[in-house]
Chain A
Amino acid sequence: MTEAVQTAAPTLWSSPAMQARIRRRYRSERLFKGLGLASLALACGFLLFLLASVILSGWPSFRQTQILVPVSIDAGRLGVTAAEAKADPERLRRANFQGVVQDAVDKSVGDAVPLVSEGAWLALREAVEADPALIGTHKDMWLIASSNLDQLAKGRIDLAAPEGDRPVNDQEIAAWKQLEADGKLRTAFNRTFLTAADSVDPELAGVWGALKGSFLTLVVTLLISFPVGVLAAIYLEEFAPKTRWTDVIEVSINNLAAVPSIIFGLLGLAVFLNTMNMPRSAPVVGGLTLALMTLPVIVIASRAALKAVPPSIRDAALGIGASPVQVVFHHVLPLALPGMLTGTILGMARALGETAPLLMIGMRAFLTSVPQGLAQPATVLPVQIFIWSDNVSRGFVEKTSGAILVLMAFLLAINSLAIYLRNRFEVRW
């Protein structure tokens, strides 16, 4: 046996069979590496594709088409004179602005097809309230165009399609071309989109209501989940004796972190709404629900931050006579705080993008006013995106993408803040 090994010829690396074998192995090596690169490229490419498609379709929502209409602000039609308006602002507020704008529109662009938005008169009211002396004068105003005209002007409608297949009829197209030729159309920055709440008309809908709802909800979430999460982490990491009881707490925290978010929605519905009779659709309930969802994330991040503080610090503080509570609150906590904050901010970012649990507690509400308090009905930005995405009206596709852009901008800002905090304050021992 040993002799046979010794007498066997050494591997002949230059033999054609061996060369072919090596080539084959190298080829499979390149293939494997290529596959890895391709899948990475695919993942990154998908992100780029997603971002590009959202930006392309969402960008126009920040632009608004306006029509130039000469408005004669007639005191008779309005039902209030300049002097009366100055004396009684409440009466001015209820004056017939709709009628005045309707007359002006009928006279200048015709009333055959709706070209000016139904909410265009609000701009006139705003202008007159700012300066009641305008009553009785003429004013050239740029009024918000209707959604169909807006889509036409932005080139979002396929004109080649037969009339029955497109959302605008030939009359509207003719009117659009006429306005364009007269120089009575312009596109301007869409202030409405950033300052208004939801509306049935796409050209009057905005994200401000949802944004404020998100803000109120997240304030509640932060106020509850941050202190409770940090305190729980301190107890589990620094004080808890190793008993079965603390094991139960640990296991339940780790599991809560992986429970589907919609289950938290069911919990909020059953406990906060049905048992405790809290108001539906309110930011306070949404905030509580999201706080329960974010809590495990914060606890886990805070424990990691506490674990990273070296034991020598605790020993030194104990050695000079600090009590265990003093050790933690005077020495360990300040050192662990940046890590805890980073974890909390990332948890908040997750809560900001969360939709499903809030649908469960009724935040899928159509609200045309901006929420004023924690117990008032509100909606949040991701839910607003969901509501708009369900809307068949063409103008809302653009609004949905626009709202996504706003949401992504906020998420980006929050995450950048977390990264900055991590780099700026985190100490490596």
Chain B
Amino acid sequence: MSLWAVLLAVLALGALGFWLGRRRALGFVAQAGSEVGAVHSRPHQHGVFVAILSLLPALAVIAAWAALAGGLVSREVLASLPEGAVGPSDLERSAFLAEVRGLVRGDYAAAFNAHAEAAAAVWKASATRYAMLFGSAALALGALGALWGWSRLTADFRARTRVERFVMLALVLASLVAILTTFGIVASLLFESFRFFQLVSPVEFLFGTQWSPQTAMRADQVGSSGAFGAVPLFWGTVFIGAIIAMLVAIPLGLMTAIYLTQYAAPGVRKVAKPVLEVLAGVPTVVYGFFAALTVAPAVRDFALSIGISNASSESALAAGLVMGVMIIPFVSSMADDALTAVPRSMRDGSLAMGATPSETIRKVLIPAALPGIVGGVLLAVSRAIGETMIVVMAAGLAARLTANPFDSVTTVTAQIVALLTGDQEFDSAKTLSAFALGLVLFLVTLALNVYALAVVKKYREAYD
């Protein structure tokens, strides 16, 4: 009995419940004849009521099956082995289990481990037993639920009220997912960071200027302690995301928005807006590839040509420039919103006094739209410092405190990727530090977002 077959059977059972419930209610309707209101709910609501009672318990059992069965079977297989057949470590166990699973599925022709052959038989028996157990439980519960629901139907049974109460419950649960996600992010980051701060003091992490997260492979290695001062990472993040990228994105994005809202003919706007949307929709990994392959060598050649001898092929400038271009559409659309929210009377008044359009824009529109623009820029900064792929591919991993844009620097996001993509033990300070970095990133972007959204909202209300 496979999981999918049981699922299909359960769904069929639910459909059958719906049909039976509806038929019974149609019977009530026929009995009542022309008397209005004799049957409280519509026939299909009776049907849905029976189907819900049938599906809910059965699906719950199937969910439990999907979640638990693998672990239960593995435990039984491991328990069936003779003493010392498999090494004690988790890695050896999971390798053995993977082999057994491969044998059962027929991926491997012959067993590598001597015990795997026997274990595969145990696996098969155990998996079949659990499948029978859970499968029959699901079907029985589904049938019982349907029967019980069906037996409760009468002409004045309030099926609609009950079904709607269930719908409301589903709606509330769905909206709770967002809270659960936020809670999950905060909890997992806090928990792992707490473990990290037991190994490394928060003061050293937040204010130290040495970052070299290599921890020892063996206890007796030299220089194995690792240094977790994250200031160079914070500086690199700010340097690339908030300085270089913004130097590109703010003027270009703002001027683009001004041109599109104030000067451009409708035809130009019609072409330019989708182009900017495409620019915003290009995946970041494409920007990263472009930065690493085309922009970075060009930047290095430029640095060499102006006499900087040790220019690196991974430079802050290349990553920042490309990130700035990536942010242009975002800044432009935020500035666009802010500019169009300025009341038309202000613009007309200024033009009527004889100011040129550019004077109107610089002296009336921009000051009036400034809070909205600033809010948009803050959101853009928050997006830039959380951006990962461009810096991973183009900025490098050297943690340096330097203001030289041709030097390579590293960022919080690039380090998180570097720390977590190797094969690591999961409780070393090295991997845990990624969560501490994630926590800092989350808090900073959260603060930026909350503040910027509040500014933008307040500004919109002022002109509404």
Contact = CB atoms under 8 A, between A and B. Distances in A.
A385 B255 contact: no
A400 interface: yes
B259 interface: yes
Contact of A231 (B175, B253, B281, B442): B175
Interface in A396-429: 397, 400-401, 404, 407-408, 411, 415
Given A232-B175, A323-B164, A266 B435 contact: yes
A386 B283 CA distance: 11
B284 A353 contact: yes
B188 A271 contact: yes
Contacts of B387: 260
A258 B416 CA distance: 19
B290 interface: yes
Contacts of B382: 258
A203 B358 CA distance: 56
B179 interface: yes
A379 B105 CA distance: 22
Interface stretch (A64-72, A116-124, A234-242): A234-242
A130 B279 CA distance: 47
Interface stretch (A39-47, A136-144, A172-180): A39-47
Given A36-B259, A43-B279, A389-B293, A262 B386 contact: yes
A260 B289 contact: no
Contacts of B133: none
The prevalent SS among residues of A at the interface is helix
Given A266-B188, A356-B413, A253 B178 contact: yes
Given A33-B358, A47-B275, A295-B178, A255 B446 contact: yes
Nearest to B362: A32
A427 to B, nearest CB: 22
B75 to A, nearest CB: 13
A252 B178 contact: yes
A355 B284 contact: yes
A383 B263 CA distance: 41
A32 B389 CA distance: 35
A271 B356 CA distance: 59
Contact of B164 (A33, A42, A228, A325): A325
Interface in A302-349: 323, 325, 329, 349
B328 interface: yes
Nearest to A350: B281
A188 interface: no
Contacts, number: 238
B114 interface: no
A365 B257 CA distance: 42
A50 B264 CA distance: 24
A299 interface: yes
Interface in A342-378: 349-350, 352-356, 359-360, 362, 364
Nearest to B431: A269
Contacts of A251: 450
Contacts of B294: 53
Nearest to A364: B421
B348 to A, nearest CB: 17
B324 to A, nearest CB: 10
A260 B178 contact: no
Interface residues of A, number: 84
Interface string B140-161: 0000000000000000000010
Contacts of B288: 386, 389
A2 interface: no
Contacts of A325: 164, 167-168
A248 interface: yes
A266 B186 CA distance: 11
A28 interface: yes
Given A43-B328, A407-B286, A258 B445 contact: yes
A228 B177 contact: yes
Contacts of B325: 43, 46
A374 B293 CA distance: 34
Contact of B435 (A255, A270, A295): A270
A213 interface: no
Contact-size category for B: 35 or more
A292 interface: yes
Given A36-B263, A355-B388, A415-B281, A385 B413 contact: no
B283 A39 contact: no
B184 interface: yes
Contacts of A15: none
Contacts of A28: 356, 358
A354 B281 CA distance: 11
B285 A386 contact: yes
Interface string A143-154: 000000000000
B252 interface: yes
Contacts of A359: 417, 420-421
A360 B426 CA distance: 13
A78 interface: no
A50 B179 CA distance: 39
Interface string B69-94: 00100000000000000000000000
B417 A263 contact: no
A259 interface: yes
B118 interface: no
B386 A44 contact: no
B293 A397 contact: yes
B179 A235 contact: no
Given A43-B325, A270-B188, A53 B290 contact: yes
Interface string A33-67: 10111111011101100100110000000000000
Interface in A247-285: 248-249, 251-256, 258-264, 266-267, 269-271, 274, 277
A26 B177 contact: no
Interface string B223-253: 0000000000000000000000000000111
Interface string B316-340: 0000000001001100100000000
A382 interface: yes
B178 A256 contact: yes
A382 B392 CA distance: 14
Nearest to B426: A274
Nearest to B361: A32
Contact of A259 (B174, B262, B389, B445): B445
A24 to B, nearest CB: 11
A296 interface: yes
B293 A270 contact: no
15 contacts: A32-B362, A33-B263, A46-B279, A229-B174, A249-B176, A256-B181, A259-B449, A262-B417, A266-B420, A277-B71, A352-B283, A356-B388, A360-B417, A401-B289, A407-B283
* Top-3 shortest CB links A-B: A260-B386, A36-B259, A353-B283
Given A32-B362, A53-B290, 6 more contacts: A37-B263, A40-B255, A43-B256, A266-B416, A360-B416, A382-B283
